[in-house]
């Protein structure tokens, strides 16, 4: 069998998702036995253009340069995987979208924003705002076991299935104390797990870095936190932190359903 041609490309971000792959000895070596890593500019000097069988794309669209690079890579990739919460949900740079006037945020950083056109800011957005995405592996950073499972499924010729249960499922299996029951702040019920309830396991509420479940019950989530005395404005900020656009969309849907009821 010929090894699948795999690429790891990136646009604006922190490089943490790639590092998750490079950092793990066992994972990296296992992967390199099975795949042909033809492009990974952070790690390699020689980086081939596509076609790629699979391309992992890290980062969010924040400039024209990003957008052009993303579109080019999409054309060259049979399977495009959005890797990490920047690519899947826009991550914290998306907080900027909570302002109706983006120049308010921009002017706090650059007094006169006068950059070359290629690097002038675009509205921060997950990559599926601009191109078709085949799979989403969220997480900030994404979990190595999810990346490994994804590649294993592909190598076995199975259609990869991405875990889509709330953080609470794994948290209960680990028999952690429920932080919500203890009266604390935790976004676990609305957030996609796959992380083995990482944060609650170190006694810290889930802050939502995997982004919301596809069918997150937002109104119930807000209620749970309100019961624990969290101010509604703060709850919204917490929800929006990693996935402003997605949470806003879910909130709108929930309101519509409520009106119908």
Partner 1 sequence: MAKITLNHITKVEGHANLSVEIKNNKLVRCELGSIEGTRFFEGIVVGRRYDEIKEITSRICGICSVSHSMTSLKATEKAFDVKVTKQTEILRELMSIGERIRSHATHLYFLVLPDYLGFESAIPMAKQYQKEVFRALDLVKIGNEIVLKTGGRQMHPISCVVGGFTSVPSKEDCDYLLSELKKSRKKAFDTLELFCKLKYPKVELDMEQISLKPETSQPMLKGAIVSNKGLNVSENKYSDFIDEKIESYSTAKFAVKNGKSYLLGALSRVGNNFECFAVDIKKVISKYKFIFPSKNIFNQNVAQAAELVYWLDEAISILENNEFELQKLVFVSVKAGTGRAATEAPRGILFHEYSFDDSGNVTHCNIMTPTCQNLRGMEEYVHAFIELLLKKKVKKKEIILEIEKLIRAYDPCFSCSTHFLQVDWLQK
User: Which residues in 56-95 contact partner 1 (CB under 8 A)?
Assistant: 59-63, 65-66, 91-93, 95
Interface of this chain with partner 1, residues 28 to 47, rule: CB under 8 A: 28-29, 32, 37, 40-47
Q: Which of 68, 115, 232, 255 binds partner 1 (CB under 8 A)?
A: 115
CA-closest candidate to residue 216, choices 181, 244, 174, 188: 188
- Position 209 contacts partner 1 (CB under 8 A): yes
- Position 238 contacts partner 1 (CB under 8 A): yes
d(CA 226, CA 59) in angstroms, rounded, equals 33
For strand 5-10 and strand 52-58, is the pairing parallel, antiparallel, or unpaired?
parallel
- What character string, x for contact with partner 1 (CB under 8 A) and - otherwise, covers 118-157? xx-xx-x---------------xx----------------
The token duo for 24 is 């793990």
Please identify, using beta-carbon distances, which residue of 25 and 260 lies nearer to partner 1: 25
- Position 100 contacts partner 1 (CB under 8 A): no
As beta bridge partners, residue 192 has 166
- Position 182 contacts partner 1 (CB under 8 A): no
- Position 207 contacts partner 1 (CB under 8 A): yes
Half-sphere exposure of 188 (CA within 13 A, CB side): 26
Which residues, at least 6 apart from 156, have a Cβ–Cβ distance to it below 8 Å?
Answer: none
- Position 174 contacts partner 1 (CB under 8 A): no
Please identify, using beta-carbon distances, which residue of 22 and 163 lies nearer to partner 1: 22
Burial of 83 (0-12, 13-18, 19+ CB in 10 A): buried
d(CA 179, CA 199) in angstroms, rounded, equals 11
- Position 230 contacts partner 1 (CB under 8 A): no
Q: C-beta of 237: minimal distance to partner 1 in Å?
A: 6
């Amino acid at each position: 069998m010929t090894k699948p041609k795999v690429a790891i490309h990136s646009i604006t971000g922190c490089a943490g998702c790639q590092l998750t792959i490079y950092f793990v000895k066992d994972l990296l070596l296992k992967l390199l036995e099975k795949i042909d890593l033809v492009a990974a500019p952070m790690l390699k000097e020689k980086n081939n253009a596509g076609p790629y069988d699979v391309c992992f794309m890290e980062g969010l669209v924040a400039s024209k340069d990003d957008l052009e690079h993303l579109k080019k890579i999409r054309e060259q990739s049979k399977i495009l995987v959005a890797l990490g919460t920047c690519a899947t949900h826009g991550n914290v740079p998306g907080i900027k979208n909570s302002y109706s006037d983006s120049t308010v945020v921009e002017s706090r950083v650059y007094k006169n924003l006068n950059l070359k056109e290629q690097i002038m800011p675009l509205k921060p957005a997950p990559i599926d705002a601009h191109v078709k995405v085949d799979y989403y592996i969220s997480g900030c950073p994404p979990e190595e076991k999810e990346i490994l499972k994804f590649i294993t499924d592909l190598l076995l010729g199975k259609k990869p299935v991405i875990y889509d249960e709330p953080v609470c499922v794994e948290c209960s299996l680990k028999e952690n104390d429920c932080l919500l029951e203890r009266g604390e702040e935790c976004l676990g019920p609305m957030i996609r797990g796959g992380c083995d309830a990482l944060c609650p396991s170190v006694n810290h509420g889930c802050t939502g870095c995997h982004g919301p479940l596809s069918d997150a019950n937002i109104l119930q989530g807000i209620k749970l936190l309100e019961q624990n005395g969290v101010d509604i404005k703060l709850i919204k900020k917490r929800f929006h932190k990693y996935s402003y656009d997605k949470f806003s969309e879910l909130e709108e849907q929930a309101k519509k359903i409520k009106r119908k009821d």
